[in-house]
Amino acid sequence: MKMAPTSTICVLVLAIAVFFPSIVFGGDAGVNYGRDGDNLPPAKQVIDFLTDEFKYKISLIRVYDANTDILEALSGTNLVVTIGVPNEAIPYVASRQEAADKWVQDHITTYVAKGVRFRYVCVGNEAIPGIVASFIEPAIRNLYTSIRIKAGIDYIFVTTAVGLNVLGESYPPSRGQFGTNVAQIMNSLVQYLYSIESPLLINVYPYRALKNGGLNSFDSLSSITRPRARLGANRGNCLIFTFSLLFLTA
């Protein structure tokens, strides 16, 4: 079932915040704080680098889980934070409202009081498709109630992040559609995100797309980067192409 045009526009205009952070944050750059690997520096050293040595030139940060060392290090800084609910924790948060309340108390309200500037709570990372996909919307609903209604925090948005593997067809953008295996989940999710004015976050890896080629990886991308290509909604650079694709899909 397709969303109404007005719903589509509102949801994906909000998603511009993800694709074009300069529109929302005045040109600020962001970084994903991944912790896969060994010999990693302590969280405080990383945050001090961004704030003291790098002088907030990178002022947006995404943390994939609610690691307490990182949250403590972020306390009192002006970094704008996206905090993740790990995929394995989604069923717990979705199970009942009390579970979401506890998660928010432990990881959000406690650190809001310590001066952490949360902007997004991201429920899972590329968990659609996957074994917890059906739990994502219930988890978002519970967390929204916990944050917006119970805690009264009106500036934190609850959402999820998907990859381009949610698409069944991706080229050209005007023919984009969700894959049949996720269409029901994605259509319901996007409509709910629209109703709470939250963006849908998209993980985009243009380099991987160009390196790997293939239909779901910006097939024939070179044709849409030519300035005079007559492709209508399908024209533009790699970033514009991706945005057009998701806009027309939803």
Higher pLDDT: 26 or 11? It is 26
- Give the sign of the dihedral formed by CA 227, CA 229, CA 235, CA 239: negative
Task: Report the C-alpha gap between 14 and 197 in whole angstroms.
Answer: 8
Q: For residue 177, what is the enclosing H or E element?
A: strand 177-178
The residue count of the chain comes to 250
Name the average pLDDT for the chain.
80
- What letter does residue 105 receive in the DSSP assignment? I
Check whether 144 has a pLDDT greater than 50. Answer: yes
Cis peptide before 5 (omega within 30 of 0): no
Inter-residue contact 146 to 100 (CB < 8 Å) = yes
Contacts of 41 (CB under 8 A, 6+ apart): none
Task: Give the model's pLDDT for residue 167.
Answer: 86
Task: Report the C-alpha gap between 234 and 116 in whole angstroms.
Answer: 40
Task: Report the C-alpha gap between 159 and 62 in whole angstroms.
Answer: 13
Task: Report the C-alpha gap between 40 and 51 in whole angstroms.
Answer: 18
Helix ranges, the chain (H): 5-14, 16-19, 21-25, 43-48, 68-74, 90-95, 97-104, 110-112, 133-144, 183-195, 206-212, 221-224, 238-249
Check whether 143 has a pLDDT greater than 50. Answer: yes
Q: Which two tokens stand for residue 134?
A: 């059906």
Inter-residue contact 122 to 81 (CB < 8 Å) = no
Task: Give the model's pLDDT for residue 102.
Answer: 98
pLDDT tens profile 66-125: 999 999 999 999 999 999 999 999 999 999 999 999 999 999 999 999 999 999 999 999
Task: Report the C-alpha gap between 51 and 74 in whole angstroms.
Answer: 10
Task: Give the model's pLDDT for residue 225.
Answer: 40
> 211: buried, middle or exposed (CB in 10 Å: 19+, 13-18, 0-12)?
exposed
Lowest mean pLDDT among 9-13, 25-29, 169-173, 217-221: 9-13
- What letter does residue 225 receive in the DSSP assignment? S
Check whether 218 has a pLDDT greater than 50. Answer: no
Task: Give the model's pLDDT for residue 210.
Answer: 66
